[in-house]
């Protein structure tokens, strides 16, 4: 195996020159991104920058895309969404997607398996104790935080090892945000790979190995965890914080 091939195989997710369109609207303009197994990276940026579209592109949920998206070394541009997901991807969309008429536990069981080694219900309830208490409550009766936990728990059931999480802290109380932070840390310890779209930089900075700042559908800065302090001014300017 030559060096280039060995390098490619080492990435869980490798995106090159990704362009994406919704109908006639050209939204992503050449995104490059590398995530190694077990890493947590964030996509940061202002509203409308293209962060959600990047996650959706990975799963083929945009109108059209070009470029290359390799998941565990396999090219997925051109594959249908259900096949891409079976490469072991779990996606928490911004809108969470909890079914109101189903109980928490029914929601938990809903998604098909995408890989081996999904968490058991017992493991899930150990990680999210609130959900155990709410197992038989209908989706509508769950708080925003409980719905978010359920949306995450649900993808952990499927055996996904690459987690795409879109704004999981949005609108949640600080105490819930803290418990989500603990969950992300535990998942990292267990070797999960995570791409986190975040508005809450204070939350993200302690969790991620690396930050990608997106602006107008392009990566305009890549900042390693170790560089955050010295990059603070640049980050403030890019994110408007
Ligand atoms: N379904 C769609 N059809 C047409 N345009 C879209 C669609 N979804 C998003 N866009 C546009 O694509 C651009 C990027 O949107 P995206 O949702 O990726 O942004 P974002 O970085 O996630 O920001 P935020 O979540 O704060 O809106 C925006 O200009 C948005 O208006
Ligand atoms: Mg978004």
Q: Where are the domains of the chain?
A: 38-62+79-239
Indicate which atom in ligand 1 lies nearest the CA of residue 54. Answer: 18
pLDDT digit of tens for each residue in the chain (241 aa)?
454 554 445 899 999 999 999 999 999 999 999 999 999 999 999 999 999 999 999 999 999 999 999 999 999 999 999 999 999 999 999 999 999 999 999 999 999 999 999 999 999 999 999 999 999 999 989 999 999 999 999 999 999 999 999 999 999 999 999 999 999 999 999 999 999 999 888 899 989 999 999 999 999 999 999 999 899 899 889 988 7
C-alpha 58 – ligand 2 centre gap (Å):
14
CA separation for the pair 81, 103 (Å, rounded) = 27
* CA nearest ligand 1 atom 26, residue: 47
Q: How far is CA 67 from the centre of its chain?
A: 20
Ramachandran sector of residue 48 (left: φ over 0; alpha: ψ -120 to 50; beta: rest): left
* CA nearest ligand 1 atom 19, residue: 48
Q: Please give all residues whose beta carbon lies within 6 A of any atom in ligand 1, as ranges.
A: 22, 25, 27, 45, 47-53
Note the pTM of the prediction, 2 decimals: 0.94
Q: Which CATH architecture has domain 38-62+79-239?
A: 3-Layer(aba) Sandwich (3.40)
List Cβ neighbours of 87 (8 Å cut-off, separation of 6 or more): 71, 72, 74, 76, 114, 162
């Amino acid at each position: 195996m030559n060096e280039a091939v060995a390098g490619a195989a080492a990435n869980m997710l490798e995106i090159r020159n990704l362009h994406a369109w919704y109908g006639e609207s050209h939204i992503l303009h050449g995104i490059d991104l590398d995530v190694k197994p077990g890493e947590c990276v964030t996509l940061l940026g202002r509203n409308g920058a293209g962060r959600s579209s990047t996650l959706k592109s990975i799963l083929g949920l945009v109108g059209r895309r070009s470029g290359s998206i390799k998941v565990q070394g396999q090219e997925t541009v051109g594959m249908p969404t259900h096949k891409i997901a079976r490469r072991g991807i779990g996606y928490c969309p911004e809108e969470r997607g909890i079914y109101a008429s189903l109980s928490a536990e029914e929601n938990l069981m809903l998604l098909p398996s995408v890989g081996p080694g999904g968490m058991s219900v017992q493991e899930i309830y150990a990680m999210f104790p609130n959900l155990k208490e709410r197992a038989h409550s209908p989706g509508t009766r769950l708080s925003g935080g409980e719905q978010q936990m359920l949306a995450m728990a649900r993808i952990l059931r499927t055996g996904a090892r690459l987690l795409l999480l879109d704004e999981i802290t949005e609108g949640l109380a600080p105490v819930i945000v803290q418990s989500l932070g603990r969950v992300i840390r535990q998942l990292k310890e267990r070797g999960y790979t995570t791409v986190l779209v975040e508005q809450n930089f204070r939350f993200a900075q302690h969790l991620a190995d690396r930050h990608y700042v997106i602006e107008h559908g392009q990566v305009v800065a890549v900042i390693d965890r170790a560089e955050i302090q010295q990059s603070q001014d640049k980050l403030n300017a890019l994110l408007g914080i």
